[in-house]
Amino acid sequence: MRLQDRYDGSHDPFEGDRTIVWRSLPANALVTKATVTLKPVPPPGSKDYTETLRFASGGPAYGATIRSPSSHKVEIDFHARRTAISFGGLTATSSSALSVDIGGGVYLAVAKDGTIPVQPGASPWDLTGQLLPGITALRLQFIGVDPSGPSNLTEVTVGVTSMPSNLTLRFGTLPPFWSGPGELATPTTTPDITNAIQRALAGATVQNGYYAIPLIVHSDTLGRVNMTIDIEYLGVAPFLPAGVPEVALAYDYASVPKADKTTLQATLPAGATPVSPQTAVRIRGAFASSRVTDGPTGDTNETTTIPCSAAETIAQPVTPAADVNVSAVDLYAAAAGPAAQLALDLRADDDGKPGQASMLVKPVAFDLTGDASGQRQWTSVPIAPPVQLKGQERYWAVVQALDGADSLGVDANPDPARLVQISKDSGFSWRLAGLGSPLLLRLRTVPDRFQMPVDFAVGSGPQQQRV
């Protein structure tokens, strides 16, 4: 997800620190990328980066003070270094003069050409045009001037340049994560500040589901700044309730936990997409050596069943994607009564039906249990020694009842290439069983090296996503 926040500083001139509380980042956000763009802006209605200091009630004077130490003399103390370029509210004549204090508390007279001090025989700065030479100074002294307004010094104004400079950005009391030396004359974008945000989030408070993060902008000089924060983030949703560090889940051949699915549950907004590798689950436990190489895993989607008895032998085509040593075959089945014994065989294909040639040393007998509910479960039939099947060749898994009967689960997903066949004469002849979907059946193998047998599935049904 992407978040873009803008701060309009065109009406908020500042010098020193300006604290902006950022409140748009959700409390469950995991920031993956973040930048801040700073842009200098002039005062509203002005094309120049000039602030006007006003000494009337309400100002703004930005800390400056004004006084008239004697007749026809006015002194302005900025209490900071300012670059003054104009003034108003004072009546000057050709005999008026300007002095500046650039540091040290000593006034130096300004010459007509803007240099200091005035050399012998040179003319002083001309104040009749109400312009100033743009010397960065702490104080200004106007000599031979008088207030022009009826309110005495309250009508005096001074225009000073207001480009922000030597900016730094920091979160709260943390050290600055970015600094820009010199004046901010053009828009500037920081490098990725994800790490700085993560450190800030560690101590941030949460208000109404959003972080409240103090972002402090510092400028050595008076100025106005527009700021844009661009964030790319992922939503984080815990699967366990607060205070529960872990849960124990029991597994069998079904490949999903036997516990209630709501044991691990997270609330996600509509349309959310889980992302790997940021989605993480820590698992402790032992894995069996075999891995499913062909067939469905995850939730078992059964559409119907097909019976298997002494009078009904069932065959399912299997076509491995690649050469594989099959160490076991999983079936989704249950005995029709308390118990049943069946035999599993893997046979070569004979022109679209199970052939007589077995791929096994002999069919593998296995037992099934059942109850009144008839609920099927995954059963794994081991094959020893493993049998090698060639990739892209069709074989048949044949299930025959030796004692009792059972029901085999049928997949809900249709597959015309893997239609079930049935024989009522112990495998001498075969016909289609009339099902549009294959059996719920898997092939297993024991890989040469360890392979992580874990899939992480989010959601259920058609909306389920695997990470």
Compute CA distances 16 → 38, 215, 223, 304, whole Å: 16, 13, 10, 74
Say which residue, 80 or 269, is predicted with more confidence: 80
Compute CA distances 75 → 55, 78, 114, whole Å: 12, 10, 19
Which structural domains are found in the chain, ordered by start?
Answer: 2-38+187-235 (no CATH), 50-161 (2.60.120), 241-467 (no CATH)
Three-state SS at 463: helix
Cβ-Cβ contacts under 8 Å for 369 (sequence gap 6 or more): 334, 335, 338, 339
Say which residue, 402 or 237, is predicted with more confidence: 402
The whole-number pLDDT of residue 160 equals 94
The whole-number pLDDT of residue 17 equals 96
Three-state SS at 442: strand
Tell me the per-residue pLDDT of 241-265, one tens digit each, with 9 for 90 and over. Answer: 778 888 888 888 888 888 776 777 7
Joined tokens for residue 321 = 């994607």
The whole-number pLDDT of residue 153 equals 87
What is the rounded distance in angstroms from the CA atom of residue 30 to the CA atom of residue 237?
10
- In whole angstroms, what separates CA 324 from the centre of its chain? 40
What mean pLDDT comes out for the span 330-359?
96
DSSP 128-179: TT-B----EEEEEEEEEEEE-STTGGGG-EEEEE---EEEEEEETTSPPSEE
What is the rounded distance in angstroms from the CA atom of residue 450 to the CA atom of residue 456?
18
Taken as a whole, the chain contains a residue count of: 467
pTM of the model: 0.61
What is the rounded distance in angstroms from the CA atom of residue 176 to the CA atom of residue 215?
10
Confidence grade of residue 286 (pLDDT, cut at 50, 70, 90): confident
What is the rounded distance in angstroms from the CA atom of residue 53 to the CA atom of residue 31?
42
Longest C-alpha distance within the chain, in Å? Answer: 130
Place of tokens 């009749």: 128
The whole-number pLDDT of residue 234 equals 86
Joined tokens for residue 118 = 């005035």
For residues 201 and 211, the answer to whether their CB atoms sit within 8 Å is yes
What is the rounded distance in angstroms from the CA atom of residue 283 to the CA atom of residue 254?
18
Tell me the per-residue pLDDT of 428-454, one tens digit each, with 9 for 90 and over. Answer: 999 999 999 999 999 999 998 888 777
Say which residue, 276 or 17, is predicted with more confidence: 17
Joined tokens for residue 434 = 């009339």
| Residue 74 in this model has a pLDDT that exceeds 80 | yes
| Residue 6 in this model has a pLDDT that exceeds 90 | yes
Compute CA distances 360 → 215, 325, 367, 368, 432, whole Å: 71, 12, 18, 21, 24
Min mean pLDDT across 152-161, 196-205, 208-217, 234-243 is at 234-243
Confidence grade of residue 288 (pLDDT, cut at 50, 70, 90): confident
The whole-number pLDDT of residue 281 equals 72
Residues linked to residue 212 through DSSP beta bridges, in sequence order: 205
Place of tokens 């200098």: 40
Tell me the per-residue pLDDT of 108-150, one tens digit each, with 9 for 90 and over. Answer: 999 999 999 999 989 999 999 999 999 999 999 999 988 765 5
Tell me the per-residue pLDDT of 77-98, one tens digit each, with 9 for 90 and over. Answer: 999 999 999 999 999 988 899 9
The whole-number pLDDT of residue 151 equals 54
